[in-house]
Amino acid sequence: MPKIMGLTGDEAIAYAAKQSKVDVVAAYPITPQTIIVEAFSEYVHNGEVHTEFVCVESEHSAMSACIGASLAGARVFTASSSQGLALMHEMLYIASGLRCPIVMGVVNRALSAPINIHGDHSDMMGSRDCGWIQIYCENSQEAYDWVLQAFKIAEDHEVLLPVTVNIDGFILSHALERVEVYDDGDVEKFLSIRNAPFKLDPDNPFTVGALCFTDYYFEIKRQQVEALKNAPPVIDKVNKEFEGLTGKKYSYINTYGLEDAEAAVLCLGSTAGTAKAVAKKLRSQGKRVGVIKPWVYRPFPSEHLLQTLGNLKALAVLDRAICPGAPYGALCSDVVSTLYDNGKQLKVFNAVYGLGGRDITPFDIEAIFNEAMDVAKTGIVKEPLKFVGVRE
Amino acid sequence: MSKESKLGWKKIPIGGLLFEPGSAMQYKTGDWRAFKPIVDQGKCINCLLCWIYCPDAAIVRKEKFIDINYDYCKGCGICANECPVKAITMVEEKK
Amino acid sequence: MLVEVRWHGRGGQGIVTVSRLLAYAALLDGKYVQAFPEFGPERRGAPVTGYTRISDEPITIHSHIYNPHVVVIVDPTLIGTVNMTLGLVKDGTIVANTEKDSTTLKQNLRAEKAKIFTVNATRIALDVLGRPIYNTAMLGALVKASPIVTLDSIDKVVKERFPGAVGEKNVAVIKRAYEEAEKVE
C-alpha cells in the first residue's frame, strides 16, 4: 500500500534514492540542492541505508568519485545545482563517455554572474550536450517517480548512460507537496540490485580511460549517440513496468488538451503545471488551447512530438534559459528543427522567461496563450523571440 | 595505416574500455629510436639505477649485468645519463 | 476548491514551519497541498512570508500566490508596516495576532470587505509556553476563522512535529487560540 507523505522536491528525490538502495553517494552541498544531500546523510547516520557516503571537497571530486564507484559496479547517486554542476562539467562528459549509469538530481538554478540562487534552466542547458539522459519534472511526485525509473533506465545494458532528474530550484525543491510513496518492498521488486556488465576487479583487470586519438575517438562518440538512440524503447519498457506497479503513466511527453487544441504552450518542468491551470480556465471559456511538456529532454523526443501536434496551428515554446546570440532558446531550437521540413503548417514563437527565478505568473501565461491564439488565427508571428516578464 | 584495418564503432567495446589486460605489450615502440643504448657488460656493476629510471621498463635484469629490450626501448638516453660507471653509450641508429 | 493562504511574520518566528504544519494537517484530511516560503535572503527579524495552498483536487499551479483567500498575521508589529491585504480576494479572511481594538485594526489594515478575526496569540503563548513563540497559536485562530482543515489533524501533526511535552503544550495553545479567536464586527 502506498502512503501519502508531505515532501519537498528535494526530500522526494532523497527518499527515492534511499528506496533505490544506492551503494555510493558522493556529493557536495549547494543551494537549493542541499536538502537532498542533507536528508541522505541523515539516512546514513540513522543506519536506514547501507550506502557509502563519500564527503568530497568539490563537485568535480564528487562526480569523479561517482565515476569510480560506478565503474566498480555500484549503483551511484549524486545531486548538484548551478555553479556546482558547472564545476562538474568536465566530469559529466567523462561519466557518459565511460558509460557510467549514475543518477543525479539536478536542482535547476541560475548561473552567475550576477550571483543568484533561484530557479532557471541555465545550469542544465549549459551542460545540455554532456551525453546524459535528461528528465524534467513538474512536481515532487514526478521527481520521486522519475528517480526510481532513472536507475532502471540508466543501468539497462542497452543504454548504460547517466541520467539527470531535473527539478526547478526553490519552486519545487523547497515546496512541500503531496507525494504518494510506494512500499520499500514494491520498489525493491521494481528495481533489483544493479547487474553491471563489467566492473573493476583486481582479478580480472581491464583498462579505463585509454587514449583515443584520431583513430578511435570518433567511433566511441558515435557509440554514445547510439546509446541515446537505444534509450527510447528502454524508457518505454520501464514506464510500462512502473505503471504496472503504481498505476502512474509516464512517457517522453505529457500533454493537456491537445485533442482539439489550436494553440499550445510547450515548456519544461513546473511551469507546465501553471500552464495547465491557465489552459483549464481558458478551455472552460471555450478556447482551444493545450500544453505540451516534454518529460524527457535528451534524447529529444522528436517523433513523439510530431505525433502529439494534432491540429495545432500555433505553438509558443517557453525557454527558462537563454542561448545568447542564437536565434532561439535551446528548447525552441530543438522544436523548430524537429518541425522543419516535415510538412506541418505550424507557426512557432519563443518566449524566454523566468531567468534568475523571476516568477512566471498565470497572467503571463494567459498573455502567451492569447498571443498564440492570435498567431493561430492570423498565421503571422510578429516576434519570433520575446522576453516575458522582464522590465523594459 | 589504412582506414580499413581498424574496427568500426559497432565492433569495438563501449566507452573505449580495453578488456584485455596488458595489451600495451603489443605496441612495440622500439622503432621510435634515433639513438640506441649499448651496454658494455664488462663495465656494468649491476647497480640497477638504469632499471629504476627507465620510463619504459625496457631494462632487463640479468644475474651479473643488465640488458636492454630493444622492442620497447625508445632511446631516450636516461639510462646512459644515470649510469654511474658510464657502461651505457648512445649510438646513432642505422636504419 | 482551492484555498490559498499567505502567512506574514518575521525571520525566526517559524513562518515556514507553520505554513507546512497547515499543509501536513490538510494531507491528513485527504487534501492536496503545497507549502512554500517566500524565497529570499533569510535573516532573523526581517519581514517574511510563507504560503500554503490546499485543494480537493491535484494542484498544478506553481507560481507565487497573488490573490490569497486567507492572510494570517503572525507578528503583530508588522501591522501598518507591510501591506498585508495586497491581492487579498474581496471576501477574503484576515486572521491577526493583535491586541488592537477593531476600529484601529480595520483602519490599519485598510480592508473594508474582508472578514477579520483577531486573537491575542502573544498572550496565549506567554501564558502556556512561557515563551513568545506564537506561530502555532495562529493555526487555532485560522481554523476558527476558516475551517479549511480539522482541528484534530492540526493536533496530530503538531504532536508529531514536536514530540512530548512541547507538543502537548502547543496543542493547548492551539485549543485556547481557537476558543479565544473572535470575529471583528
The domain ranges of chain A are: 3-246, 254-388
Chain-chain contact of A219 with B8 (C-beta, under 8 angstroms): yes
Which CATH number does the domain A254-388 belong to among 3.40.605.10, 3.40.50.300, 3.40.50.920, 2.60.40.10?
3.40.50.920
**What's residue A198's pLDDT?**
94
Three-state DSSP class for residue B63 = coil
Q: Is the confidence at residue C138, as pLDDT, over 80?
A: yes
Q: Is the confidence at residue B4, as pLDDT, over 70?
A: no
- How remote is the C-alpha of A304 from its chain's centroid? 17
Chain-chain contact of C34 with A176 (C-beta, under 8 angstroms): yes
φ/ψ bin of B41: left (φ > 0), alpha (ψ from -120 to 50), beta (otherwise) = alpha
Whether residue C32 contacts residue C57, with contact meaning beta carbons closer than 8 Å, is answered with: yes
Which CATH class, in words, describes the domain spanning B34-95?
alpha beta
What is the Cα–Cα distance from A26 to A64, expressed in whole angstroms?
9
- Residue C130: CB partners within 8 Å, gap ≥ 6? none
Q: Look up residue C68 and give its three cell numbers.
A: 490569497
Q: What is the CATH number of the domain that holds C166?
A: 3.40.920.10
Average pLDDT over residues C138-146: 97
Q: Look up residue A166 and give its three cell numbers.
A: 531535473
**What's residue B1's pLDDT?**
46
What is the Cα–Cα distance from A59 to A16, expressed in whole angstroms?
21
Q: Look up residue C120 and give its three cell numbers.
A: 491575542
Average pLDDT over residues C118-141: 95
Burial of A204 from C-beta contacts in 10 A (0-12 / 13-18 / 19+): exposed
Q: Is the confidence at residue B95, as pLDDT, over 80?
A: no
Residue type for position A180: E
Contacts A270 to C, Cβ<8 Å: 62
Smallest Cβ–Cβ distance between B15 and the set A97, A205, A222 belongs to A97
Task: Say if B23 is an interface residue toward chain A (CB within 8 Å).
Answer: yes
Look at strands C47-55 and C32-37 and give their pairing: antiparallel
Q: Look up residue A10 and give its three cell numbers.
A: 528535494
What is the Cα–Cα distance from A359 to A355, expressed in whole angstroms?
9
Place of cell 510578429: A382
Q: Give whole-number Cα distances, A145 to A119, A176, A190, C39, C116, in Å.
A: 21, 16, 12, 26, 42
Q: How confident is the model at residue B3 (pLDDT cuts 50, 70, 90)?
A: low
Mind listing the pLDDT tens digit for each residue in C81-105? Answer: 888 889 999 999 999 999 887 778 8
Chain-chain contact of B16 with A220 (C-beta, under 8 angstroms): yes
Whole-number mean pLDDT of chain C?
93
DSSP state of A100: -
Smallest Cβ–Cβ distance between A178 and the set C27, C36, C61 belongs to C27
Q: How far B94 CA lies from chain A's nearest CA (Å)?
A: 30
What are the residues facing A139 on neighbouring strands? none
- How remote is the C-alpha of C175 from its chain's centroid? 14
Q: What is the CA radius of gyration of chain B?
A: 17
Considering only CB atoms, which residues of chain A are within 8 Å of chain B?
97-99, 160, 198, 204-210, 212, 215-216, 218-220, 222-223, 226-227
**Is the bond into A114 cis (omega within 30 degrees of 0)?**
yes
Smallest Cβ–Cβ distance between C39 and the set A4, A174, A274 belongs to A174
Task: Say if B6 is an interface residue toward chain A (CB within 8 Å).
Answer: yes
CB contacts < 8 A, A to B, total: 52
Q: How confident is the model at residue C42 (pLDDT cuts 50, 70, 90)?
A: low
Each residue's pLDDT, cut to its tens digit, for chain A (392 residues) gives: 899 999 999 999 999 999 999 999 999 999 999 999 999 999 999 999 999 999 999 999 999 999 999 999 999 999 999 999 999 999 999 999 999 999 999 999 999 999 999 999 999 999 999 999 999 999 999 999 999 999 999 999 999 999 999 999 999 999 999 999 999 999 999 999 999 999 999 999 999 999 999 999 999 999 999 999 999 999 999 999 999 999 999 999 999 999 999 999 999 999 999 999 999 999 999 999 999 999 999 999 999 999 999 899 999 999 999 999 999 999 999 999 999 988 788 999 999 999 999 999 999 999 999 999 999 999 999 999 999 999 99
Q: How far B38 CA lies from chain A's nearest CA (Å)?
A: 32
Mind listing the pLDDT tens digit for each residue in B13-32? Answer: 999 999 888 888 888 999 99
Distance in Å from the first CA to the final CA of chain B = 20
Q: Is the confidence at residue C28, as pLDDT, over 90?
A: yes
- What angle do helix axes A217-246 and A140-155 make, rounded to 10 degrees? 130
**What's residue A286's pLDDT?**
98
ipTM above 0.85, yes or no: yes
Question: Are chains A and B touching, using the cut-off of 8 Å on CB pairs and a minimum of 3 such pairs?
Answer: yes
Chain-chain contact of A206 with B9 (C-beta, under 8 angstroms): no
Count of CB atoms within 10 A of residue A188's CB? 14
Place of cell 562518440: A221
Q: Is the confidence at residue C41, as pLDDT, over 70?
A: no
Contacts A208 to B, Cβ<8 Å: 15, 17
- Residue C12: CB partners within 8 Å, gap ≥ 6? C44, C45
**What's residue C102's pLDDT?**
75
Whether residue A170 contacts residue A251, with contact meaning beta carbons closer than 8 Å, is answered with: no
Which CATH class, in words, describes the domain spanning A3-246?
alpha beta
Percent of chain B with pLDDT over 90: 83
Q: How many domains are contained in chain C?
A: 1
Quote the Cα angle for B22-B25-B29, to 5°: 145
Q: Look up residue A258 and give its three cell numbers.
A: 491537445
